[in-house]
Structure 1
Amino acid sequence: MVDEEHADLSIRRQCELLQISRSGWYYKPKGESELNLELMRVIDKEYLEHPFRGVPSMTSFLINDCGYPINKKRIERLYKVMGLRSLLPGPHTSKPSPENKIYPYLLRNLEITHSNQVWETDISYVPIAKGFMYLMAVIDVHSRYIVGWSLSNTMSAEWCRNTIQECINNHGAPEIVNTDQGSQFTSDLFTGYLLGQGVTISMDGKGRATDNIYIERFWRTVKYEDIYLNEYRDGLKLQIGLIEYMNFYNNERRHSSIDEKRPCDLYQSKPHSTTSEAKVSASLESVKGG
């Protein structure tokens, strides 16, 4: 799809037209050993099935059920790299910086009745051949519509801010955004932007990943229905595959949790600019025609 020898368009311009991050195109595998990459894939699948597993429980599973000759310190480090934490109360790896403000959780007993009332967002590890990337997605709770997403090599606050900014540019500002207490989401860069847009911030209670349940469920769906099935070779293939899957998820896939409707049937917004799907379609034609 991206032509390295295109006569008129640079790789940078082609990536911009296709809305493909150059971090995906120029992706270099992370410096993890083959064993660590294998362990991370096993951990990710087991965590989706049993998110109560913290480091001690996962270490026991890997040693006793899978036969890996590893220790707790290795798994503790991999949990940090992957951004995982157990659903059970107790110490977790997704921690705010001590100087960052924590906001109260506002969704308990809240009746969610319309689009753009509440968005949830989170970051998830995504395996690719000989490495991994991070996926951030933002879901509208009322409709289950994915209002935006992006990939990155690192979990930076700037990346998170830029992703939520694009969502708001495309769909308008929601009333509430709910996140976990990770340092990216508690940073002044991220929270300051939301407050400047008039958004109310809500954060999961400490050690309560279930407070962000809708985005957590989405990770399970996208991984089982797309990522694990396709075993993407590199960041660019992953980006292109996810563009197709997100379009399917939003506009074709019917969800039992919303009475077999499609997210697009329930989601209503007033876009500030052309939607991502339309941009991608027009950009593809532009690159092909160039």
Structure 2
Amino acid sequence: MRSKKRKQYSASFKSKVALAALKGDQTTSEIAARFQIHLTMASAWKRELLENASDLFEGNKKSGKQSDEHSTDELYREIGRLTVERDFLSRKLDQLSRQQRLAMIEHGHPQISLVRQCELLSVYYISRAQCQEDLDLMYLIDKQHLNTPYYGSRKMRVHLERQGYRINRKRVQRLMRTIGIQAVYPRPRTSIPGDGHKIYPYLLNGLKIDRPNQVWATDISYIPLAKGFMYLVAIIDWYSRKVLSWRVSNTLDTNFCIDALEEALQRYGAPEIFNTDQGAQFTSEAFTDVLKEHGIQISMDGKGCYHDNIFVERLWRSVKHECVYLTAFENGQHLKQALHRYFRHYNQTRYHQTLDYQTPDEVYYKQPVTLAA
């Protein structure tokens, strides 16, 4: 049996997709449907663009420029010829019915993918990208996880079945991995950091936290949208509960976490200790190097220890019940606008029982905050 040849994408096409993902206004599902690719490609090309962006500014790319001019002219002539021929065939295709054009599609063609054949024959093609049922299930899993963080994939499957969904455990596990959650209970250490990722000890046991900027903490949470989902990272001051900075991303990468960290450091100075979980984004050298450069002690939660980063977990509960679950966000821009309003409310006007009914800003700045009219 002849194997199917993998579709090749041009560098310009990849860069167009990567830039759309980098903009962050659309989910990876929307980008995948827009460009008719698999959603993992959008994430991978965005990551590749970020990793190689510095190469564009090295200034040593001019060698061989003149020698390529002749080849470039030849390519432009070839493109012009193919454009004329394509327009000629397109006019002929318009005379055929949709059924006749569908009959011309060759499944398993070794060089032209099914998607490309549909484009050439002007037959509308819908990419699966990510089915709506998956998005509905992830929403339900995320919501239940806030109420029962100790539910693993087995209990979560039973919960979903009782909601009327026929689903197996493997699918539940896949969806839980996608949104970055797992049951929180003591377990053997079965997860190993990536290459070069060091795990640091937990420094907060028995520590008296009694002032702002003594300890900061961070975490990432899944945020459902009408057509996909985003990831939210936030950095808080442990003592005052103040949200110091936050970022939203359509991919689960390190860069948006570093952006949030650098903003918090620029606006509020450096804490004594920075606490995270053992996620790959926070154990990466790119992230920990920023902390080391500022002389910050690094603390990491125990694996699966929910209470080690309890105040960030409480923040997620508040954000989701008081903001996210009340609105069907259309896109990333809509989400960012709502989060900007919510975190301003959370810091300045939301009274916290654990802070003796003061706001995080009042505790952080140690004085009542006067709001602008």
TM norm structure 2? 0.64
Q: Cα distance, 1:57 vs. partner?
A: 1.6
Alignment match, 2:206: 109
> How many matched pairs?
250
Please point out which of 225, 230, 238 is paired with 2:335: 238
Deviation per CA, 1:200-255: give whole Å up to 9, x if none.
11000112122000000000001000111122111110000110111000000000
Matched residues in 1 for 2:228 and 2:134: separation?
Answer: 10
Matched residues in 2 for 1:167 and 1:238: separation?
Answer: 21
Q: Cα distance, 1:67 vs. partner?
A: 2.2
Matched residues in 2 for 1:221 and 1:94: separation?
Answer: 29
Please point out which of 286, 300, 305 is paired with 1:189: 286
- Confirm whether residue 257 of structure 1 aligns to residue 258 of structure 2: no
Q: Cα distance, 1:93 vs. partner?
A: 9.8
Q: 1:182 to 1:117 in 2, by over 3 A?
A: same
Deviation per CA, 1:118-165: give whole Å up to 9, x if none.
111000000010110000011111101000001001111122112111
Q: Cα distance, 1:194 vs. partner?
A: 0.6
Q: Cα distance, 1:95 vs. partner?
A: 6.1
Alignment match, 2:23: 22
Structure index of larger Rg: 2
Matched residues in 2 for 1:187 and 1:113: separation?
Answer: 29
TM norm structure 1? 0.81
The aligned runs of 1:1-290 (5 Å cut-off) are 22-24=23-25, 29=30, 31-63=129-161, 65-90=162-187, 96-97=193-194, 99-268=196-365
Q: Cα distance, 1:94 vs. partner?
A: 7.9
Q: Is the 8 A contact 2:139 2:224 kept in 1?
A: yes
Matched residues in 1 for 2:249 and 2:192: separation?
Answer: 20
Q: 1:116 to 1:264 in 2, by over 3 A?
A: same
Q: Secondary structure at the match of 1:147?
A: strand
The structure showing larger relative contact order (alpha-carbon pairs under 8 Å, at least 6 residues apart) is: 1
Unaligned runs of 5+ residues in structure 1 are 1-20, 270-276, 279-290
Q: Cα distance, 1:91 vs. partner?
A: 6.6
Unaligned runs of 5+ residues in structure 2 are 1-21, 31-38, 40-128
Q: Is the 8 A contact 2:233 2:246 kept in 1?
A: yes
Q: Percent of pairs identical after alignment?
A: 44
RMSD over aligned Cα atoms: 2.2
